[in-house]
Amino acid sequence: MKVTRLFSTIILTVLVLGMLSACGDAASPTAAPAAATNPPATTASASGATGAKTYKDLTLCFPQLGAESDWRTANTASMKETASTLGIKQLVFSDAQQKQENQISAMRACIQQGVNVIALPPVVEDGWDAVLTEAKNANIPVIVVDRSVSADKSLYAAHIGSDMVLEGERAAAEFNKQLPNGGAILELSGTTGSGAAVGRAKGLRNKLNSNIKILDSQTGNFTRAEAVPVMQAFLKKYKPGTDFQGIFMHNDDMGIGAIEALKGAGVKPGDLKIVSVDGTRGGFQAMVDGWFQADVECNPLLGPQVFDMALKLMNGQQIDKEVLTNETVYYPDKAKELLPTRKY
Ligand code: AHR
């Protein structure tokens, strides 16, 4: 009886050990695919640390909105130069000639191509929901660059650019200083519906003293060529110095176009208080020549920040949702000295 019980115990032990060993064999193969489908989290590294994506892996789509101003030319150059310095795999560049439909088509082509990141400088604020949703569904992060969009924040990764409302508020502060006893100003506005024009117009109205009236506001679409006839039409309607004492230019290019019209009408530098936005070389020259009393900075050199964020997005790193450029206001007293140092 004792022998039979000992024999049964031995048989049971052998069976249990066999089962345990079989379980171990079955578990091993499932571990490898799990590790393969879920690679360890990587960190952004320009030097190519193990597992991290580098700039050499990055294809970035940049559907530039146009070439309407010196600011825009500098912005394009900053993106192209940074792409080349960092040695990214490919920069997919296009020029939408200030047409939203061209930007949307370019974005769709980039989604089709399977780029890693899209950097979108939106010509206007509205109308981006559909294409941003398409990019999101394709897992392509979009960085909104320069101007803002009105779309829900969940549809894009981040925004890098200027605080356009603050720029308008800074311009208002200059008019408040220049016209302490009040007066009237004209506004030469940027592209209708663009984040830059909407923000600057809002900022101006936020902070302009109540004794300064905005006599009229018309768009010059951010270009020199379009600003000339707009200023000429203003000058037919209103007498400079009598009906209005100042002009707010939403950008330097329009300011330079408007100066041509003012010269043609016999207006001299200093007759009017003119405040502009951008801080381009042309704007600095207008200050040196006595036309602009202040130039509110809007910095176009966004390339380094955009590519840094693009790489972080590629590597699944945390990024800031809103990155605002640190800017200032320039004045005629330093314009001559600073002009040769200006990069745009
Ligand atoms: O969005 C930035 C604005 O666009 C700049 O002020 C202007 O010069 C450009 O065209």
Q: What is the DSSP string of 61-73?
A: EEEE----SHHHH
Q: Where in the chain is the domain with CATH 3.40.50.2300?
A: 55-161+301-326, 164-298
| 163 vs 160: CA distance, rounded Å | 10
Mean pLDDT, to the nearest integer, of 278-307?
A: 98
CB-neighbour burial class of residue 84 (10 A; exposed 0-12, middle 13-18, buried 19+): exposed
CB 170 less than 6 A from any atom of ligand 1 = no
Which of the listed residues 71, 125, 147 should we mutate to test ligand 1's pocket, taking the one with most ligand atoms within 8 A of CB? 71
Please count the other Cβ atoms lying within 10 Å of the Cβ belonging to residue 199: 24
- What are 184-201's pLDDT values in tens digits? 999 999 999 999 999 999
**Residue 42, pLDDT score:** 35
DSSP annotation of 10 reads H
* CA count, 13 A, side-chain hemisphere, 296: 27
Measure 72 CA to ligand 1 centroid, in angstroms: 6
Which of the listed residues 146, 164, 224, 325 should we mutate to test ligand 1's pocket, taking the one with most ligand atoms within 8 A of CB? 146
- What are 101-146's pLDDT values in tens digits? 999 999 999 999 999 999 999 999 999 999 999 999 999 999 999 9
Mean pLDDT of the chain: 89
| 155 vs 116: CA distance, rounded Å | 16
**Residue 45, pLDDT score:** 43
pTM of the model: 0.86
The single-letter code of the amino acid at 238 is Y
**Residue 97, pLDDT score:** 98
- The two tokens of residue 223 are 């270009």
- What are 233-273's pLDDT values in tens digits? 999 999 999 999 999 999 999 999 999 999 999 999 999 99
CA torsion 226-151-201-266 (nearest 10°) is -10
E strand spans, the chain: 59-64, 90-95, 117-120, 142-145, 158-161, 183-189, 212-219, 246-249, 273-278, 294-297, 322-324, 329-330
- What are 12-51's pLDDT values in tens digits? 333 333 333 332 322 222 222 222 223 333 334 444 455 7
For the domain 164-298, what is the CATH superfamily, name and number? Response regulator (3.40.50.2300)
Mean pLDDT, to the nearest integer, of 310-331?
A: 98
Ligand 1: nearest atom to the Cα of 252: 8
Contact (Cβ atoms closer than 8 angstroms) between residue 280 and residue 70: yes
Measure 99 CA to ligand 1 centroid, in angstroms: 15
DSSP readout, 71-87?
Answer: HHHHHHHHHHHHHHHHT
**When comparing pLDDT for 19 and 315, which is higher?**
315
Which of the listed residues 298, 299, 330 should we mutate to test ligand 1's pocket, taking the one with most ligand atoms within 8 A of CB? 298
Decide yes or no: CATH 3.40.50.2300 for domain 55-161+301-326.
Answer: yes
**Residue 50, pLDDT score:** 58
CB 227 less than 6 A from any atom of ligand 1 = no
Measure 257 CA to ligand 1 centroid, in angstroms: 15
Ligand 1: nearest atom to the Cα of 146: 1
CB 298 less than 6 A from any atom of ligand 1 = yes
**Residue 51, pLDDT score:** 74
The single-letter code of the amino acid at 126 is D
